[in-house]
Structure 1
Amino acid sequence: MTRRAALMLQIATGDPRPINRQIVDGVRRMIASGELAVGAALPSVRGLAQQLTVNPNTVAKAYSELTAEGWLDARAGLGLFVAIPRQRLSHAERSRRLDDAVQRFVGDVIGLDYPAQALLDAVAGELALSLSKKTA
Structure 2
Amino acid sequence: MIKIDYRDPRPIYEQVVDGIEELALRGALPADTQIPSVRQLAVELSINPNTIQRAYGELERRGVIYAAKGRGNFISDNTETLRTRRLDEIGTQIGTLAGQARALGASEAQLQGWLKEKGENRA
- Taking structure 2 as the reference length, the TM-score comes to 0.72
Structure 1 residues 57, 122: CA separation in 2 closer, same or farther (over 3 Å shift)? farther
1:30 corresponds in structure 2 to 23
- Taking structure 1 as the reference length, the TM-score comes to 0.65
1:9 corresponds in structure 2 to 2
- The correspondence for 1:39, drawn from 19, 32, 54, is 32
CA contact (8 A) 2:25 2:82 kept: no
Larger radius of gyration, structure 1 or 2? Answer: 2
Q: Which runs of 5+ in 2 are unaligned?
A: 98-112
State yes or no: 1:53 paired with 2:46: yes
Greater relative contact order structure (CA < 8 Å, 6+ sep): 1
**How many residue pairs end up in the alignment?**
105
Structure 1 residues 37, 103: CA separation in 2 closer, same or farther (over 3 Å shift)? same
2:109 corresponds in structure 1 to none
Structure 1 residues 15, 87: CA separation in 2 closer, same or farther (over 3 Å shift)? same
For residue 100 of structure 1, report the CA deviation from its aligned partner: 3.7
The 5-angstrom pairing of residues 44-123 of structure 1 reads 44-85=37-78, 87-88=81-82, 95=88, 97-98=89-90, 99-100=92-93, 116=114, 118-123=117-122
For residue 37 of structure 1, report the CA deviation from its aligned partner: 1.1
Runs of 4+ in structure 1 over 3 Å off? 88-91, 100-104, 115-118
State yes or no: 1:19 paired with 2:7: no
**Cα deviation code 1:73-94 (max 9, x no counterpart):** 1011111001112525987x96
Structure 1 residues 121, 94: CA separation in 2 closer, same or farther (over 3 Å shift)? closer
The Cα RMSD (Å) is 2.7
Query: Percent identity between the aligned chains?
Result: 31
